[in-house]
Amino acid sequence: MGSINLEEDIRPLSEFRANTASLVKLVKKTGRPLVLTQHGKSTVVLLDVHQYQSMVSSIELSESAGAAKRGLIAEGIKKRR
């Protein structure tokens, strides 16, 4: 996933409503997320589906590794007793 370009990748929700197709194309073309604002505050992030799936997979892998590590630590503590 590309880094957010602060000048191009933060848009008001009203602009997204008016130009949905072109902004979706922009996200797919640049590979960068699009931050949508409402009343001047960040509200949602639009990601390409492949970027989203990659993020979810990375999180799941990290959680699995963390669970495995905790299990090994717990097993090591049990063996010491």
> Running DSSP on this structure, what letter comes out for residue 40?
T
At position 39, the amino acid (one-letter code) is H
Cβ atoms within 10 Å, residue 36: 20
Domain limits for position 5? 1-47
Q: Do 6 and 32 have their domain in common?
A: yes
Same domain, 36 and 14: yes
Residues 59 and 79 in one domain: yes
Domain at 39, CATH number? 3.40.1620.10
Q: What is the pLDDT of residues 14-61, one digit of tens each?
A: 999 999 999 999 999 999 999 999 999 999 999 999 999 998 998 888
Query: What is the rounded distance in angstroms from the CA atom of residue 70 to the CA atom of residue 43?
Result: 35
Predicted pLDDT at 81: 63
Domain count, the chain: 2
Same domain, 42 and 3: yes
